Structures are given as C-alpha cells and as structure tokens.
Chain A
Amino acid sequence: MRLAWLHLHSFRSYPALEWRPDPGVNILVGRNGAGKTNVLEAIGFLANLRSFRGAPEETLIAHNAETAVLRGEESDAQALVEVEITRKGGRRTRIGQKSIGRTSDLRSALRTVAFLPDDLDLVKGSPAGRRELLDDVATQIWPGAALDQAEFDRTLRQRNAFLKQGDRDPATLEVWDTRLAQAAAKVMGRRARAAAALEETLVESYGRIAGEETSVRFAYQSDWGGTLDPTTPASEWAKSLTGALRERRRLDFELRTTGSGPHRDDPAISLGGQGSRHQASQGEQRTLALALRLATHRAVSLQTDRLPLLLLDDVYSELDPDRSKALTDALPEAQTFVSTTRLDEVPVPGRAWQVSEGDIR
C-alpha cells in the first residue's frame, strides 16, 4: 500500500494541506507543536476512522472551522478515500464515488500500523491496552471483526442498562445473557486467533531488536475460562460464558454491571516463561513494545498480502543507540512516516520534510 497524496482541510493545525509523500520513507522534521503528529494522525484516521491518540472527533476539526475534510489516494489499488468530520458528530466516509457506512469497508483500502510514544503501556499498562491491540489486529485482518466488536459493545451496554434499572425479571436477564454470550464468543474467537497470529511472528520480532533468541508467548486469557485455545468452537465459549454469567448473577445485580466477559479479559504476554507486565525489566519491556508493533505489521502483511503503512511518532527520541539501530534494521519495506524534532536522531535513510505553519515542504 502507498499513499500517493494527502489533502487536509481544516484538520487540526492544517487549514489547507496538499502533500505528495515519497513512496518510501518520509521523515517529518519540525519543532514541538509544529504539526508532525497531526499529519500521522490524519493518515491513521483515513485508515481507521479513529485517532490513534484517542482524541474525540471534534477536537480534530481546526478551531475556527465547522468541518474537517481528509482525502487521500492509495496508489496500488487506486482507491480514493475521503472522510468529512463535522462538529455535530456527523461523519461522512467515501471510497471513490461510493459512500460507506462501516469502518470494515475502509480497512481494505488503507491500513496503518503506528508506533506511538506511549507504546510501553501495551506491556506495562492495564489489560485494556492489550485487548485493544488484539481487536485492532483482528479488524485489520478480518473485516467482519469490527462488526462483531460493535455488536458485543452494544449488547454489553444493554445488559448493563438492564442491571442498572433494578428490574430483576429473570426471563429478560436470561435472554440478555444468551445474546451477550453469543456476541462475546465471536469477539473472543477473533482475539484468540489474533493473539496466535501475533505470537507466530513475535519471537522473531523480539529477537531482532533484543539481539538474542527468547521465548515469547502471547496467550489470550479470560478470568473464568482460563487460557483460550484459538481452535475452540465459538459455541463452547458461549456456553462457558453463559455459565460464568449465571454464577455471577447475584453479584452483577448488586454491582449493577457485568463482571465477566471479554471486556474483562487479560491477554498476557510472557517473556522467557515469565509475565512481562510485572516481571520483565524496563529495557525488556521497551523491546517487547517495539516487537509487538513489528509483529502486528508482519502478521497483517502475511494474512492480507498487502503491506500496511508504518507510522512512527517520535519513537527514536526514546531509544538508546542499540535499539534505535536494531529497529531500523528490522523495519519492513513499507511506505513509512517518521516524525522527529531532530533529523540526526533518525537513523533511517529517507526523504526529509520540514513541517511548520500548516505546511510540509
């Protein structure tokens, strides 16, 4: 995949940008606040309809404007992608002349893998970040995964709303449990398969950055069903979650929220047989975080036969020279966008661009 050009109108600090990036490596150089991350964020948004900074949509619209428009062309498939964001929350997305309603349709046109300054949290932080990583890998590989996630989220919100009502009608709860378990089983199955796909490439990715072979395991675990084998049929998981929900029923009613399910699961990564979240050293954790992103890129490329764009936001300033070089050697041949305040910090050869005052030159 290659982004041939990018047009931004009233997106964050860009009133009007028309930019033709290099098909290889693009290095965006500029002082703090120049708008480097904003560009990477725009590319990520075109691919995922979501800010990788987790920013609410209206914050993406330039302060003085009502709508932001993002447009880009992917040159391999010649897909023109266009997104319009409005302050009222209405969003329009088109590929070519066709209006699309679902994120999943967009994924096949443009995919990105982003290395972000906070990536260490993937390893050190709470399970939520790792769940999100698996969901993201799943949607990149299987277009239907986004629908499954939306369906699960909706069902969970409905069941929680039911618990909050204080109505204890067992017949109604029973149907919500059955429906939640159905939706959950699909999400869990996707996550388990995404974890397996990542695990396959994680050992190699980790080894390339660490400079030595270490065993790395990525297991998808649930608090009620133990480690989930990706070959288990969905109906089995649905049954085991239905059981768990029934067991917790009294507690759920008391706490007025759903205590078991994929939204509570903890995908765990172990390094040399030990848990990486609490037992690995700071340096190992940093290496693992980089390896996770590399593995994501590799897994998605292998499964989809296309190379996602790489976005590296201010990643090199955090790395020591050894890791910096190892990462550079391990980067795949994809179109790449790197942001930095200092060009000499980036060991990757590529085309350097100056970012300032809403323009890239």
Chain B
Amino acid sequence: MFEGPLQRLIDELARLPGVGRKSAQRMAFHLLGVEREDALRLSSAIVDMRDQLRICSRCYNVTASEECTICRDSKRDQTVVCVVERAQDIAVIERTQEFRGRYHVLGGAISPIGGIGPSQLRIAELGKRIEDEGIMELILATNPTVEGDVTAMYIAREMKPRGVRVTRLAMGLPVGGDLDYADELTLGRALAGRSEL
C-alpha cells in the first residue's frame, strides 16, 4: 500500500504481539519523523538485546550472563523455587516484593491442543534441580487457566514423591485469566495465601 521501505516497517511492526494494522501504521509514520540517531538507538537496542541476551543456565530466565541476577544473588533463599510459565511472569512476581526465593521457567503450559506435553516443558530440568540444589519447596505460579492448573497438578504429582513441599498460588482470580493482568496487590495476597497441592 505504501512505498517499499515504509510498508516493510509496517509489516514488521504489525507482526508484534498486540499491534494491529492501524497502530503499526501510526508507529511507522511516527518513526518517519524522528532524527536518524533516535532511529539508530531503537534499532540497535533491538539488535543488542538479540545478540547479548541468553537464557539463564539454571532457571531459564533471560540474562546477559551465564546465570541471571536472581540466581547469582546469594541473599535469596535457595531452598524455595517459584515455578512460572514464561520469563516475563518473573517480573510480575518480583514487583510484589513478597518472594525471596529463586525461579524456574517452564517455557509454557501443558496443552494438547497446542501440541505441548510435559516433555516439551522444562519439567525434567526442574526434577534435576530439586536433586542438585537442595530445594525444599516449590511454589507453582502457573497461569490460572485450565492449562496452568493441569501443569501445576502434573508437576505436583511428579515432584511430591521427591520429598519437596508443593504449593499453588491461591488465586483470587477467575480461571481463564492471565498472570500478566493481575495487579500487584492481588498477586501479593495470592502468594501469602498459597495452598498445599
């Protein structure tokens, strides 16, 4: 619809999650008006992130070094691990200031419709960590969806025989929600009121 390079940018932006055709156009026309160095700053931020970030070798969080800052923080409780579906869920829980343990990122939730079974998730890796790190409690903070529930139930079944305490966030949220959308207060309370599985 537009001149080659402009249309290319619109197409790229529209592929981002939550960005529709219209907002992609608006962003592209905005960028058309910025200084060259501002444009460079944005493009290099994207490329740098891509080049410099990797996955934490312990918890699978996003990190700039071998292990993420949370795993490297010796003041954090190493015996408690909070299990989340995606790395961005860590930030949500960190904001509550209620949790002082470490994390484990599963990489999704069990969903036969999406072709995802337990072996596509980092559940075996979690089992290994329990053996290697002296973990005593798992807090399962998967999303309050059917898939998140089933993933939590599966993990509880697999890990409880290894002698760890397994709890699930007590959600004041209706099933079908996303952890992303919970406000800090609700999540903080949910952490405090977590229940045994």
Contacts and interface: CB of A to CB of B under 8 A. Distances in A.
- Determine the interface band of chain B, counting residues with CB < 8 A from chain A: 10 to 19
Contacts of B153: 175, 178-179
B175 A161 contact: no
Nearest to B158: A171
A176 B175 contact: no
Contacts of A174: 157
B193 interface: no
B150 A158 contact: yes
B118 interface: yes
A251 B1 CA distance: 55
Contacts of B117: 165, 167, 169, 172
- Determine the interface band of chain A, counting residues with CB < 8 A from chain B: 20 to 34
B5 interface: no
Nearest to A167: B117
A157 B113 CA distance: 8
Given A158-B111, A162-B112, A175 B150 contact: yes
Contacts of A162: 112
A67 to B, nearest CB: 14
B146 A179 contact: yes
Interface in A157-192: 157-159, 161-162, 164-165, 167, 169, 171-172, 174-176, 178-179, 183
Contacts of B150: 158, 175-176, 179
B176 A179 contact: no
Given A154-B146, A167-B117, A176-B150, A161 B176 contact: no
B154 interface: yes
Contact of A161 (B113, B118, B149, B154): B113
B33 interface: no
Nearest to A176: B150
Interface string B174-197: 111000000000000000000000
B146 A147 contact: no
B80 interface: no
A183 B157 CA distance: 19
Contact of B112 (A151, A158, A171): A158
A61 to B, nearest CB: 19
A164 B146 CA distance: 19
A155 interface: yes
Nearest to B118: A172
B137 interface: no
B110 interface: yes
Contact of A147 (B115, B118, B174): B174
Interface of B: 110-113, 115, 117-118, 146-147, 149-150, 153-154, 157-158, 174-176
Interface of A: 147, 150-151, 154-155, 157-159, 161-162, 164-165, 167, 169, 171-172, 174-176, 178-179, 183
22 contacts: A151-B146, A151-B175, A151-B176, A157-B113, A158-B111, A158-B112, A158-B113, A159-B112, A161-B113, A164-B112, A165-B115, A167-B117, A169-B117, A171-B118, A171-B154, A171-B158, A172-B110, A172-B118, A172-B154, A175-B150, A175-B157, A179-B149
Given A175-B110, A179-B153, 10 more contacts: A147-B174, A158-B150, A159-B112, A167-B117, A169-B117, A169-B118, A171-B157, A172-B118, A175-B154, A179-B150
